Amino acid sequence: MILVTGGAGFIGANFILQWCQQSDEPVTNLDALTYAGNLANLTAVVGSPQYRFERGDITDAALLARLMAEIKPRAVVNFAAESHVDRSIHGPQAFIHTNVNGTFTLLEAARAHWQTLPAEEQRDFRFLHVSTDEVYGSLGPNDPAFTETTAYAPNSPYSASKAASDHLVRAYHHTYGLPVLTTNCSNNYGPFQFTEKLIPLLITNALAGKPLPIYGDGQQVRDWLYVEDHCQAICRVLEAGTPGEVYNIGGWNEKTNLQIVQAVCDLLDELAPQVGGGSYASLITHVTDRPGHDRRYAINAQKIADALDWKPRETFETGLRKTVQWYLAHPEWYAL
């Protein structure tokens, strides 16, 4: 049995769906079902004896202790997090609550459970913490991409809260010997992503004839990773990663925000052309830039390629086409 936290969210749900397709091992999903958690993401596995859902918050120590005793997980995969930079700017407290206090409470529960295990099960136990490239700060246009040894320099309440959680995970390995793994990923996209994020926002706004908002000049650069590739990488780290190590997971796809919006518009022009013609690109609207907006992120994913033989299967072009096609085929999902 593995315990997945935040499994009703975007990446967590994709991970559970993929896990149930590729493994017979049972999975328990613990999720508080905040605004970004949606059980509709997991319709395909509801009712399966392999899957169990438990509603709750990772800051609830009593709940975690009960769950650990009941299911006796051999691994914890922690996706539970507040993750939207804009929300962290307007309301940082929720990010400290979940990302810092929640990770601490989960680590304590995992440590207590781990210490009760026989020596062989202790050795095989894993606590995998899913984090972000934003903890590394911002890069200049010619700076080398982030590696696992890049110094942390978070610039938003969100990234600062994730950096704090990463440090806690590292400390629990070095202080207590808890077998932890940390992954830092680049920008994810794909099915089931909440519509406040850039790519689903562009798709859903365009289909509704609404403006396509782009911060500032639109030249901010991000590395883009298809969510199913990310989930495969997490499975690989869980399977073969070295305890205490950090693995950067990226798509090798640096794009400006303007390139993203143009690519989405081009695909929608092809797959769902507007009545009367014309390009969705006419809806592009530049808006005031986000405070403290990081200019560039880029992931060097060479370590996971060399150590664990993982690389993304999707190019940005193939992944984006799959994503647009999924949203076009599921209007009932984003209309919820």
- Write out the catalytic residue numbers: 133-134, 158
Residue 272 makes CB contacts below 8 A (sequence gap 6+) with: 207, 328
128: region left, alpha or beta (phi > 0 left; psi from -120 to 50 alpha): beta
CA 101/CA 106 separation, integer angstroms: 9
Of residues 125, 118, 157, 296, the one with CA closest to residue 222: 296
DSSP assignment of 220-283, as one string? -EEEEEEHHHHHHHHHHHHHHPPTT-EEEE--S-EEEHHHHHHHHHHHHHHHSPPTT---GGGG
Please calculate the CA angle 54-189-15 and round it to the nearest 5 degrees. Answer: 35
Q: Which two tokens stand for residue 126?
A: 């894993």
Burial of 96 from C-beta contacts in 10 A (0-12 / 13-18 / 19+): middle
What is the amino acid identity at position 136?
A: Y
Given a contact cutoff of 8 angstroms between Cβ atoms, the answer to whether 58 and 105 are in contact is yes
